[in-house]
Amino acid sequence: MNAELINIGEELLLGLTENTHAAYLGRKLAEIGLGLERQVLVGDSMDAIAGAVGESLARSDLVITTGGMGPTSDDKTVEAVAALLGLELRTDRDVERGNEKLFRRLGKPLPNLVARQARVPEGAQVLLNEHGTAPGLVLKASKPYRAKWLVILPGPPRELQPMFEKRVLPILEKEYPGRRILEVRVLRVADLGESLIQERVEEKIRAHFPGVGIAYSARPGEVDFRLVTENRTGLADQAARLAREILGNDVFGNGDEELEAVVIGLLRKAGRTAATAESCTGGALANRFTNTPGASDVFLQGWVTYCNESKSRELGVTARALEIHGAVSEQTAREMAEGARKRSGADYALSVTGIAGPDGGTEQKPVGTVFIGLASTGETRVYKECYPMDRWTFKWRVAQRALNLLRLELLSKKVP
Amino acid sequence: MNAELINIGEELLLGLTENTHAAYLGRKLAEIGLGLERQVLVGDSMDAIAGAVGESLARSDLVITTGGMGPTSDDKTVEAVAALLGLELRTDRDVERGNEKLFRRLGKPLPNLVARQARVPEGAQVLLNEHGTAPGLVLKASKPYRAKWLVILPGPPRELQPMFEKRVLPILEKEYPGRRILEVRVLRVADLGESLIQERVEEKIRAHFPGVGIAYSARPGEVDFRLVTENRTGLADQAARLAREILGNDVFGNGDEELEAVVIGLLRKAGRTAATAESCTGGALANRFTNTPGASDVFLQGWVTYCNESKSRELGVTARALEIHGAVSEQTAREMAEGARKRSGADYALSVTGIAGPDGGTEQKPVGTVFIGLASTGETRVYKECYPMDRWTFKWRVAQRALNLLRLELLSKKVP
């Protein structure tokens, strides 16, 4: 049973936008056993869209398109598909009403062009969009095509993803009963490279579970270690338990659990609170904490003390620390963490001071140098790291390390 | 003159890895006038690779493949292409010697499998890989194919990108002399939907510049308005100037300028400084400010006053504001901004307080409600907005609005 994905959008071909749909939908389809066999990206013209959709419908069991559903003149997916399949367009009253309601809620007038997005091919099942104005569409395909269904989705990820998960997945699970279900277990590991993970676990997994597929996907400071079998034998689950035993607390979560959510959960369970004091990460750490719903129960406060004066004034960092040791130093990180903990009244405070770059490095403290402080009752520890990466990745990586240090502290494991 | 890109790799179809090649090569090819017309992603089988390469060679002037060049048995690009074009494989001594040298430098024994990577199709121009063991290959195509050249590149971005820029681009510029250079102008617009932009500008652009292509790509609170012509006529540039005239200060930048970088630039130019005080955005606004290198010249400090106590203690928000008006109110936003401005000594302070959700909404103040304060010399204004979106998007959208309010203030345009 195979699926094809057609991404539509001139901006993707011109390289102005990254195509995130292929990875997202590839993963989601694999999970329900509808392997993605081919993904195609075409521009916005009627010919290109109809051509690609026709080819894919002839070749695959399921075809999904993304994009080209906006209100403006360059969005032609619906027209192209209707022309290809010989369908008339009709105005869908539910879409129309939903869009009127959305704009009322936003307190803004409904633009005339949005009316275009309520035009759908006859016979299409319409999926209302909770986060935008373009509906999704599900169309039954028939001879001469091989495909059974054509699913048409809007382009913005925040519209597409909830629509796919809530509305499309249940349809696919019902309409493609004979597919081979993959059993996928993902262990999420922080602060440990994929080759080190492989060295520690792969041989043992292969010896005990020879039929289980193993894969790694690495991002800065984070690796997803994946175990896969077909047809829900339970073996991937058993292999994951063995891997978890070997890796211990290096595993921070399962599936798609985020590190910040795990930390918030541990704080809540322990009845503890946290605060942050950031220099070089400039709010990226507090931003991670507060990405989790309910963070306000345990996250009290953060400071972004970007200039030296604010480090002294807000957190009580001493002139001695700043002048003798420097703003990027173990001593400053220590005083920032202790000041933040004292002033906020939180049980734990994390501090960060470093050199994000691209400028500001020295031979002693090159770009990427960072000190991370963790203050708790009666003790403050400071960790020195070096992450010579682009500015955005550096900020993310440092926040990752800081969150993981707090997680390990909460698990009462001192890290070296 | 058009190009097609074929990405090869099972891990991309399974969604285990993001495909960054399409955007990178799309951009690079557009710059030299070899527009990417189609990008295809296929798995690792000989049939899938040969099928896709054959189709693309028949349809396009230039075909580029990426991936499937590794040393292991699942890498089959070279064999598939050789079989398709009826070419024998030979061992390339330069590749062999280069790989031996590379492993000597790493102080590691040369793995047996690497020898496979020195096998290349006869007649291929070989591009040595400075960052890995797989060479690039350039093959002349001929009848029955339309394509003139087939370029085969290794998959890892850090191998592919320098090879493409140093070795492939010069070949393409020489071999495709008649190509049509695209002239692309992008205007970036904040806080205005794509349909409203179209209503304001599209008719006028079409009337004055009928040959100029128009496209929109929208993200929350941000639209790229794109004007495209062929052959560097200067018309896209003229059309962009007309659009900029019509849209005025709604345009915040060109090309790939980020809003935060524009705001930092305006602050620097004006010799002014800024601070932030955030509740519901939890550091996302400070994080945007500090994404720009050199932000420390003008961004002094940020507070994430997540709990009510910290709003009073750090920023002097009154009990009256918190108890009578509530933490999410115009009055609290006003006092947060004024407190942050006074305490930091910055010229401008932005404050944010709202309900990020998913819980915490009321009928009066539903999820998505937010008050944004902007304090400057002698005046504080507060803006009420509603962005009923998922938590992550809400934070991004609010930061976008806050940055744009400061930008408009710096341009001395009062907004309604």
Give the type of residue at A309: E
Q: What is the pLDDT of residue B236?
A: 93
What's the rounded mean pLDDT across residues B382-409? 95
Per-residue pLDDT at B405 exceeds 50 = yes
B368 to chain A nearest CA, in Å? 10
User: Residues B100, B106, B109, CA angle at the centre, nearest 5°?
Assistant: 55
Test the A interface: residue of B40, B196, B290 with most A CBs within 10 Å: B290
B16, B194, B299 member nearest A70 (Cβ):
B194
Range 290-309 of B in CB contact (< 8 A) with A: 290-291, 293-296, 299-307, 309
Helix (H, G, I), strand (E, B) or coil at B355: coil
Please tell me the number of Cα atoms within 13 Å of B115 on its side-chain side.
4
- Which of A210, A136, A188, A204 lies closest to A403, judged by CA? A188
The strand pairing partners of A152, in sequence order, are: A65, A137
| Residues facing residue B138 across a β-bridge | B125, B151
Using CA atoms, how far apart are residues A170 and B352, in angstroms rounded to an integer?
Answer: 39
Helix (H) or strand (E) holding B161: helix B157-163
- Contact criterion met (CB < 8 Å) for A284 and B285: no
What was the pLDDT predicted at B16? Answer: 67
Give B317-354 pLDDT, tens digit per residue: 999 999 999 999 999 999 999 999 999 999 999 999 99
More confident residue, A189 or A193: A189
CB contact under 8 A, B18 and A20: yes
Q: Which residues in chain B touch residue A304, judged by CB atoms under 8 angstroms apart?
A: 276, 283, 286, 290, 301-304
Chain B residue nearest residue A9, CA to CA: B217
Residues of chain B in contact with residue A300, where contact means CB-CB under 8 angstroms, are 306-307, 309-310
B299-305/B274-278 β-pairing? parallel
- How close is the nearest chain B Cα to the Cα of A407, in Å? 20
| pLDDT above 70: residue A235 | yes
Closest-CA distance, B304 to chain A, in angstroms, reads 5
Using a CB–CB cutoff of 8 Å, tell me whether A239 touches chain B. no
Please report the pLDDT score of residue B232 as a whole number: 66
Note the pLDDT of residue A109. Answer: 85
For residues B100 and A256, which has the higher predicted lDDT (pLDDT)? B100
Question: Which residues, numbered 326 to 385 in chain B, qualify as contacts with chain A under a Cβ-Cβ cut-off of 8 Å?
Answer: 343-345, 356-359, 366
Name the least confident of A106-110, A330-334, B117-121.
A106-110
How confident is the model at residue A416, as a pLDDT? 46
Q: Please check the confidence at residue B101 and state whether its pLDDT lies above 90.
A: no
Count other C-beta atoms under 10 Å from residue A271's C-beta: 9
**Entry field: residues in chain B:** 416
Distance (Å, whole) CA A99 – CA A90: 16
Evaluate if residue A415 carries a pLDDT over 60: no
What is this model's ipTM? 0.81
Query: With 50 as the cut, is the pLDDT of residue B142 above it?
Result: yes
Contacts of B85 (CB under 8 A, 6+ apart): B121, B139, B141
pLDDT tens readout for residues B44-66: 899 999 999 999 999 999 999 99
Alpha carbon distance B338, B296 (integer Å) = 21
Alpha helices in B276-361 (DSSP H): 284-289, 308-315, 319-320, 330-344
pLDDT at B414 over 70: no
Mean pLDDT of chain B: 91
A240-277 pLDDT tens trace: 999 999 999 999 999 879 999 999 999 999 999 999 99
> Least CB-CB distance to B290: which of A44, A283, A301?
A283
Q: Averaged over A224-237, what is the pLDDT?
A: 84
What is residue B318's three-state secondary structure?
Answer: coil
CB A152 within 8 A of CB A120: no
Give me the mean pLDDT over the B115-137 stretch.
92
- Whether the pLDDT of residue B137 is over 70: the answer is yes
Chain B, 164-223: which have a CB under 8 Å from a chain A CB? 184, 186, 193-196, 198-199, 202, 214-220
Q: Which residues on chain B are in Cβ contact (under 8 Å) with A357?
A: 293
Mutant choice from A303, A352, A359, A403 vs B, greatest count of B C-beta within 10 A: A303
Q: Which member of B302, B388, B392 has the closest CB to residue A304?
A: B302
The strand pairing partners of A285, in sequence order, are: none
- Give the single-character DSSP code of B329: S
Highest mean pLDDT: which of B65-79, B139-153, B265-279? B265-279
Q: Which residues of A touch B284 (CB under 8 A)?
A: 283, 287, 290
- Strand A251-254: give its sheet, edge to edge: A213-219, A222-230, A182-190, A251-254
> Is there a contact between A41 and B42 if contact means CB atoms under 8 Å apart?
no
| pLDDT attached to residue A413 | 52
pLDDT band at A219; cut points 50, 70, 90: confident
Residues A22 and B22: their CA atoms lie apart, in Å, by 11
pLDDT category, A218, cuts 50, 70, 90? low
Evaluate if residue B401 carries a pLDDT over 80: yes
Provide the mean pLDDT of chain A: 92
pLDDT at A220: 77
Model pLDDT, residue B413: 52
- Token pair 């009580």 is found at A316
Q: In what order do the strands lie in the sheet with B213-219?
A: B213-219, B222-230, B182-190, B251-254
Three-class HEC string of chain A: CEEEEEEECHHHHCCCCCCCHHHHHHHHHHHCCCEEEEEEEECCCHHHHHHHHHHHHHHCCEEEEECCCCCCCCCCHHHHHHHHHCCCEEECHHHHHHHHHHHHHHCCCCCHHHHHHHEEECCCEEECCCCCCCCEEEEECCCCCCCCEEEEECCCHHHHHHHHHHHHHHHHHHHCCCCCCEEEEEEEEECCCHHHHHHHHHHHHHHHCCCCEEEEEEECCEEEEEEEEECCCCHHHHHHHHHHHHHHHHEEEECCCCHHHHHHHHHHHHCCCEEEEECCCCCHHHHHHCCCCCHHHCEEEEEEECCHHHHHHHHCCCHHHHHHHCCCCHHHHHHHHHHHHHHHCCCEEEEEEECCCCCCCCCCCCCCEEEEEEEECCEEEEEEEECCCCHHHHHHHHHHHHHHHHHHHHCCCCCC
Average pLDDT (B237-253) is 96
CA distance A227 to chain B (A): 12
Residues of A (36-75) whose Cβ lies below 8 Å from B: 36-44, 48, 52, 70-74
Residues B286, A299: C-beta atoms closer than 8 Å: no
Band (B416; pLDDT cuts 50, 70, 90): very low
| Cβ atoms within 10 Å, residue A241 | 12
Q: Output the pLDDT for position A232.
A: 65
Query: Where is pLDDT greater, at B398 or A357?
Result: B398
Percent of chain A with pLDDT over 90: 68
| Chain A residues close to B202, C-beta within 8 Å | 72-73
**Does the reported pTM lie above 0.90?**
no
pLDDT of residue A352: 98
Average pLDDT, integer, range B148-174: 92
Distance of residue A300 Cα from the nearest chain B Cα, in angstroms: 5
Please, are residues B374 and B405 in contact by the beta-carbon 8 Å criterion?
yes
